[in-house]
Amino acid sequence: MIQADLSDKVTVITGASSGMGAAMARRFAACGSRVVLAARRFERLEALADEITRAGGTALAVRCDVSQWTQVESLVAQSLDRFGQIDVMINNAGFGYLRSLAKSPVERIDSQIDVNFKGVCYGCKAVLNHMIQRRSGHIINTGSVGSMRHYPTLAVYVGAKHAVLGFSRSLYEEVREHGIRVNVLCPGAVNTEFLQVAGFRDIPWPADGMIQATDIAELALACVALPPNIQIDTVILWPTCQVT
């Protein structure tokens, strides 16, 4: 387990109502970071905020659909109103939709791009001026092994995750002179609700053989805990049960 003192930090996490986002929120809060929890299912965020508070941490729950720019802008504004700073922005919200393109409704094509790609762009844009002003900041975007591999019946999802990787690497070149780092975490199969939401009927991996959400939280913490002169570009993480 990484040892990190984040007691002077504020971390905003999208997709914090379940899976990897919730695990990152718990882990960062346990290291002392004040955490802002964002997603659409507010009751889940409130329950997690209560849990973190009971454990001695500080958490703010904010309802936010990352595909809506005004809601992401408001998420950042509410975080700054409450805590006065944002040190780490984790753009993690996303979902998959397992269907051939021919059979995919156009609305599902749009929403996959809106949430998985535009949501990441919005999250970055919303915090950048603040981070540039402070000459420091850390952005972690959740990609996928689909950011560099090809999977049938997930073409739009894979396209959006490729976009996340290209966007994040380009953005880093834009912001590194301002002391801002941009990392992309690209996991294979993680044991979360993602696979059910995507519509996998028969999950091809044993739950305990997959990467666990807590493993991703540890990795995100490692990225943030590194000295400020080190930039981790992209981390590709496979469970050994999955074909690479």
Packed helices 69-83 and 119-134: angle between N→C axes, nearest 10 degrees: 30
Which residue, 21 or 57, has its beta carbon nearer to ligand NAP? 21
Of 75, 89, 192, 224, the one binding ligand NAP by CB under 6 A:
192
Strands (E), 64-151: 88-91, 137-142
Stretch that binds ligand NAP, among 10-18, 50-58, 81-89, 132-140 (CB under 6 A): 10-18
Closest distance of CB 127 from ligand NAP, Å: 16
Query: Can you give 134-170 as a three-state secondary structure string?
Result: HCCEEEEEECCHHHCCCCCCCHHHHHHHHHHHHHHHH
Closest distance of CB 33 from ligand NAP, Å: 18
How many angstroms separate the most distant Cα atoms in the chain?
Answer: 50
Would you call 97 a catalytic residue per the annotation?
no
Torsion of CA 153, 16, 13, 79, to 10 degrees: 140
Main-chain dihedrals φ then ψ at residue 60, nearest 5 degrees: -120, 130
Closest distance of CB 182 from ligand NAP, Å: 16
Packed helices 119-134 and 155-175: angle between N→C axes, nearest 10 degrees: 10
Which residue, 4 or 45, has its beta carbon nearer to ligand NAP? 45
Q: Which residue has the tokens 């409130």?
A: 46
- Site residues for ligand NAP, 193-212, by CB under 6 A, read 193-194, 197
Q: Which residues, listed in sequence order, are joined to residue 183 by a DSSP beta bridge?
A: 140
**Catalytic residue, candidates 122, 151, 157, 172:** 157
Residue 142 touching ligand NAP (CB under 6 A): yes
Which residue, 132 or 222, has its beta carbon nearer to ligand NAP? 222
Which residue, 5 or 159, has its beta carbon nearer to ligand NAP? 159
Residue 39 touching ligand NAP (CB under 6 A): yes
Residue 147 touching ligand NAP (CB under 6 A): no
- Site residues for ligand NAP, 51-110, by CB under 6 A, read 64-67, 92-95
Residue 11 touching ligand NAP (CB under 6 A): no
Residue 182 in contact with residue 120, Cβ under 8 Å? no
Residue 140 and residue 146: Cα distance in Å, rounded? 17
Q: Give the residue among 34, 25, 27 at the shortest CA–CA distance from 7.
A: 34
Closest distance of CB 97 from ligand NAP, Å: 11
Closest distance of CB 25 from ligand NAP, Å: 10
Give, rounded to a whole angstrom, the gap between the first and last alpha carbons of the chain. Answer: 26
Of 4, 11, 19, 122, the one binding ligand NAP by CB under 6 A:
19
The residues annotated as belonging to the active site are: 157
Please report, as ranges, the residues that interact with ligand NAP according to CB under 6 A.
Answer: 14-21, 39-41, 64-67, 92-95, 115, 142, 144, 187, 189-190, 192-194, 197
